[in-house]
Amino acid sequence: MKKLLAWLHVHKYEVLLIALIQHLFIGVFLEDVDFYAKVIWPINILVVGLASVGIFVKKGRWKKIVRNLLFILVLGFPIALPIFGRLPYFMLSLNIAYVIFFSFIFREIIDFLIRPGYINKDLISASACGYFLLLEISVFLMQVFLYEDFSSIEGIDDSSKAAVFMDLVYFNSVTFTSIGFGDIVPKAHYVKLITAFIGIVGQFYSVVLVGILISKFSAKTTFVDEHKESIPPPDSK
């Protein structure tokens, strides 16, 4: 167990990145959305939860407790979906729980990114994790409002909860990248404003991330140059 935790801590960002990508885009390989909702979704969340363990290996006790409680909560929702999915406020509670869970992990990623240091593979992987975590947060935040009024967004396939999730992953992805094909369109004024805010946050993250990467690269270059100057030249014969 200790060896597994040590391995997860060393490769925490790569493992989390793979877990986030499989959660968001596994629908590319699936046609049966009912099977996705009942079987694949709980497995997806289990993989994401296990992948996030490495992020909190050397964190405080309370952070680990909160992460574990949130993980149990978000894992329980998709398992309970077939039984309690039609109850009032079930989907609202589910989406809020997921927003909090992914926001909690995102905060740890940001804390690592702004910490002084140099560019390495962890920084690159963590940067990508931050982007996909923002996408996760925005998808479930959008679902909070969509399940209150499905007419607030036009073009969403509401035949199943899995189809709604996949469409929102697509919609938020093109919003983040400022593509905007126009096949899915927000109609309600509050959804328009939320979409605008999500687009701004995505662009802001990209700009700030570029600044962080450039500053860390410059710091590494300066460090190397300073140490080169401090090394005495070889004696000439």
Strand ranges inside the chain, DSSP E: 153-154, 185-186
Phi-psi map region of 236: left, alpha, beta (phi>0 left; psi -120 to 50 alpha)? beta
Which DSSP state fits 115?
A: S
Determine the Cα–Cα distance for residues 19 and 169; give it in Å rounded to an integer: 15
Could you give the CA distance from residue 141 to residue 233 in angstroms, rounded to a whole number?
60
Q: Name 107's Cβ contacts closer than 8 Å, sequence gap at least 6.
A: none
Predicted confidence at residue 222, as pLDDT, reads 56
The domain segmentation of the chain, as residue ranges, is 2-224
Q: How many CA atoms lie within 13 A of 3 on its CB side?
A: 0
What is the value of pTM for the model shown? 0.87
Note whether 141 and 95 are within 8 A (CB): yes
CB 123 within 8 A of CB 213: yes
Half-sphere exposure of 85 (CA within 13 A, CB side): 12
Question: Among all chains, which residue has been given the structure tokens 């369109």?
Answer: 185
Per-residue pLDDT of the chain (237 residues; tens, 9 = 90+): 788 888 888 899 999 999 999 999 988 888 788 888 888 999 999 999 999 999 998 889 999 999 999 999 999 999 999 899 889 899 999 999 999 999 999 999 999 988 877 778 888 899 999 999 999 999 999 999 999 999 999 999 999 899 999 999 999 999 998 888 889 999 999 999 999 999 999 999 999 998 888 887 776 555 444 555 555 555 544
Residue 36, both tokens: 């996705």
Residue 220: the pLDDT is: 58
Per-residue confidence (pLDDT) for residue 237, from 0 to 100: 46
Q: Are 172 and 146 in contact (CB under 8 A)?
A: no
**What pLDDT is recorded for position 28?**
86
Phi, psi for 154 (deg, rounded to 5):
-95, 135
How many C-beta atoms lie closer than 10 Å to residue 27's C-beta? 18
